[in-house]
Amino acid sequence: MTDFQAIMADFTVRQAERAAQAQSEIQRLKAAIIAPLRNAEIARVEIRFDGCGDSGAVEECVFSDAVGASVPCPEVTIDCAGEGDDQSLNSAIEQLTSLALERHHPGWEINDGACGELIIDVATPSFVLDCQLRYTATDDHSTDL
């Protein structure tokens, strides 16, 4: 095997490890946030994000009750890692959104970027990441006259 092949094989292994670690953390965060949301009688959370020009962020988190009325985020602390790593519920939700974007749409913040939202249906519970990828396109023509 050439040095390049060894480098690519190592890269592939490390990428798989990072993907598995990210997926594990996503599952841990999903499990950690559901109970506090249910306890606060929140039925739905919409986390809106936007990114472009090499920058991106969660823009807004909207929490709704069973009748669709907007309610504030509960000010509770949760243990996301099971090892005393406490963080606020809002912070855990933002971290989940960032990890999901990095895992499923890497580079979502680069160039034209992407926007969308992560929708959490607390009762089900379901987590749906809707992402609109933006890009600049050209339609070039050349005609010999």
Residue (of 83, 78, 96, 102) closest to 15 by Cα position: 102
Is residue 145 in a domain?
no
Is residue 138 in a domain?
no
Is residue 99 in a domain?
yes
Q: pTM of the predicted model, to two decimals?
A: 0.86
Q: Does 57 have pLDDT greater than 80?
A: yes
Number of domains in the chain: 1
Residue 129: give the domain boundaries.
3-133
Task: Check residues 69 and 10 and name the one with the higher pLDDT.
Answer: 69
Which residue bears the tokens 């190592």? 10
Is residue 73 in a domain?
yes
Least confident of 5-9, 39-43, 96-100, 102-106: 5-9
Residues 105-126 as b/e (b if ≥16 CB within 10 A, e otherwise) read beebbeeebbbbbbebebeeee
Is residue 141 in a domain?
no
Q: Does 30 have pLDDT greater than 90?
A: yes
Q: What confidence score (pLDDT) does residue 54 get?
A: 87
Residue (of 16, 37, 41) closest to 96 by Cα position: 37
Return d(Cα 115, Cα 121) in angstroms, integer: 20
Is residue 144 in a domain?
no
